[in-house]
Chains A and B, each alone.
Chain A
Amino acid sequence: MTNFLAVTWGWNEMVWCTVISIALVFIVLVLLVFVMKLFGVIFAQKPERKLAKVAEKPISDEQLHEEQIAAIAAALKLYKSALHDRESEVLTIQSLKRAYSPWNSKIHGLTQLPDRK
């Protein structure tokens, strides 16, 4: 591997290093732009093709139109949002049984008031 520091660094070397580095940063990232564009072409176009295929099929009279589907969806949404949740009315609080220990004893956790008799 080239030892760049073996070269005495002066202004020439500094300027070249800067220019080359900026150029390389751009080259690497431009390369990544193309790679990601390629990604887009491969992966993002597939759903469009599917859609195109679907669109090519003629709509028969029995099939629903987009407006009808939207109207049904809106009606269902309104209907469901008007419904209240029905509770099962079953208590689901889990009962815990712990062995007695003075560390978790409730009586020891309470402030003991002085007995004024």
Chain B
Amino acid sequence: MLNLLQSNFALESLEKFVSSMGFAAFFSEMGWGNLVMILIAFFLLYLAIKKEYEPMLMMTIAFGMLLTNLPGAGLFHEELFAGGHVHWDAFTSHEGIAPGLLDYLYLGVKLGIYPCLIFVGVGAMTDFGPLIANPKSFLLGAAAQIGIFATFIAAYAMGFTPEQAGSIGIIGGADGPTAIFLTAKLAPELLGPIAVAAYSYMALVPVIQPPIMRALTTKKERQIKMSTLRQVSKKERILFPIVIAAIISLLLPDAAPLVGCLMLGNLMKESGVVDRLSKTVQNELMNIVVIFLGLTVGATATANTFLSPATIKIMLMGIVAFGVASACGVLFAKLMNCFLKEGNKINPLIGSAGVSAVPMAARVSQKVGQEENPSNFLLMHAMGPNVAGVVGSAVAAGLLLSFLG
């Protein structure tokens, strides 16, 4: 007769099942870390859904963070990318670590594919007209990049390596894909915190910038009305992406992937002959890549890498980078006014739009300008430095990559 009560099989099976559950791992070593990370993921999901802080990326980043910190799920393995390299042998070998879904998707970040594809979409959505009409805007875009390099020095002073400092500095460029592109190459171990910092502060541009803009300008300066921008011909719009891609790629080959993709997208839009491609890169392609990028960048935020004093320092440095970049843009606009004739002067408020964050930073310039003078419309003028900032931050990333990569 079967002696069911004396058999240990059921008990052992149950014990084995319980120990294999993710819940059990919370009580193991570093299990608390996973729990904290899951709580952080919940908080970021709250910010994305309730507060609508850059929800397209914040939500996917937070969900990636949640998935990677679920013990036992095995969706992402840091070991496969240890030392900043892809361990291809582990992907092909059937022994040892079994790569998870996010490991495969992360290859797109690691190989610099996703940020460039996003840039194709960004290019197709960007109107460079205000920049072509007022090329001086390039200077404001350049001035705002000083924030990147000031933070680069400050991060080094705080004990980060030069590669890590460069990756932290690029947060000041206020350009998510550029920050991810550079960090994945220079300091992949910091990808999670840097992406979270970059997108959080980009969402906070309307909070961070106005006090800086008001503090650095007088009421009279904020009321300056700028002359209407000239009409830009279709020829100029078509030639612009071709010429810019060629010039920047020849001068800075390391910036070629980002600038090249940005300009390709813009050419698709401006040429008007590949409407289907333009719509695809603006919508379907962009949305698909955003999902992959967000999920995998979030997945790099494991308890081991995220729960460290470095993350707090990065968050602090990020806000410094944004603040300095905005301030440099405003101050440079004031400096330019010293050399410009009366009637041609620029409103310094558009200088802060030199940090990328398209089009949020330009909207902030418009809003602060209208507070002083409701009949003043700065939006189109601010779009010039705003898109110049995208080009400027890609150039800065290319430079950092050539020096540190």
Chain A residues with CB under 8 Å of chain B are: 4-5, 9, 13-15, 17-18, 21-22, 24-26, 28-37, 39-40, 43-44
Contact = CB atoms under 8 A, between A and B. Distances in A.
Contact of B149 (A22, A29, A39): A22
Nearest to A4: B403
A29 B247 contact: no
A32 B244 contact: yes
B125 interface: no
19 contacts: A5-B404, A14-B153, A18-B152, A21-B149, A21-B403, A22-B146, A22-B149, A24-B399, A28-B251, A29-B142, A31-B247, A32-B248, A33-B135, A35-B135, A36-B132, A36-B240, A40-B236, A44-B230, A44-B236
Given A17-B403, A18-B149, A43 B235 contact: yes
B233 interface: yes
A18 B153 contact: yes
Given A25-B395, A26-B142, A39-B239, A33 B244 contact: no
B141 A29 contact: yes
B400 interface: yes
Given A21-B149, A28-B248, A28-B395, 13 more contacts: A14-B152, A17-B152, A21-B399, A21-B400, A24-B395, A25-B396, A28-B252, A32-B244, A32-B247, A35-B243, A39-B132, A39-B239, A44-B233
A15 B154 CA distance: 11
A18 to B, nearest CB: 5
Contacts of B131: 36
A30 B153 CA distance: 24
B391 interface: yes
Nearest to A18: B149
Interface in B183-221: none
Contacts of A31: 247, 251
Given A22-B146, A35-B247, A29 B138 contact: yes
B353 interface: no
B136 interface: yes
B156 A14 contact: yes
A30 to B, nearest CB: 7
Interface of B is mostly: helix
Interface residues of B, number: 41
Given A39-B236, A43-B233, A43-B236, A29 B404 contact: no
A15 B157 CA distance: 11
A29 B403 contact: no
B403 A30 contact: no
Given A22-B146, A36-B132, A36-B138, A14 B162 contact: yes
B396 A30 contact: no
Contacts of B248: 28, 32
Interface string B364-402: 000000000000000000000000100110011001101
B145 A25 contact: yes
A35 to B, nearest CB: 6
A40 B137 CA distance: 14
A13 B251 CA distance: 22
Nearest to A46: B233
A39 B141 contact: no
Contacts of A28: 142, 248, 251-252, 395
A32 B135 contact: yes
Nearest to B135: A36
Given A28-B251, A29-B141, A40 B400 contact: no
B328 to A, nearest CB: 10
Contacts of B80: none
Given A15-B153, A25-B396, A44-B230, A30 B138 contact: yes
A39 B138 contact: no
Contacts of A26: 139, 142
A25 B142 contact: yes
Contacts of A33: 135-136, 138-139
Closest 6 CB pairs of A and B: A36-B135, A29-B142, A29-B138, A33-B135, A18-B149, A9-B162
Contacts of A44: 230-231, 233, 236
Contact of B138 (A5, A18, A32): A32
